[in-house]
Amino acid sequence: MSSLPTALASCDMLLIDGLHAFDFTFDESGLMVECMDGRQHRRWTFTTEQIATAVGVGDEWLVNDAQGEHRLVCMSAFRAPDEENDEPDLDEPADR
């Protein structure tokens, strides 16, 4: 299993304590996650030490802070494939 910092560097979305979070920052100062839970704005901040000591269990990571244990799942967001340009290239001769 890779480390949580490695997983965070390659993911687009987090699941934290069951909530989907697209708005997160992972850098040398640690991990900061924000999301909306209904009308409530939620924010989590983890230090680099907390991230480094996270324990991987299956596809989840258990991270502890002053509020207790949090479950993180690193996910990749689904993206539509790049669409081919349907217009003919003007530099190519037209088929006859």
Does 83 have pLDDT greater than 80? Answer: no
- Chain centroid to CA 16: 10
Does 86 have pLDDT greater than 70? Answer: no
Does 90 have pLDDT greater than 70? Answer: no
CA distance 46 to 3: 15
In the chain the domains, ranked by start, together with CATH numbers, are: 4-75 (2.30.29.190)
pLDDT digits (tens, 9 = 90+) for 13-62: 999 999 999 899 999 999 999 998 889 999 999 999 999 999 998 889 99
pLDDT band at 76 (very low <50, low <70, confident <90, very high): confident
Contact 65, 50 (CB under 8 A): yes
Contact 65, 37 (CB under 8 A): no
Contacting residues for 33 by C-beta, under 8 A, at least 6 apart:
14, 16, 21, 23, 24, 43, 44, 45, 46
> What are the phi and psi torsion angles at 75 (to 5°)?
-130, 160
- Chain centroid to CA 80: 17
**pTM of the predicted model as reported, rounded to 2 decimal places:** 0.74
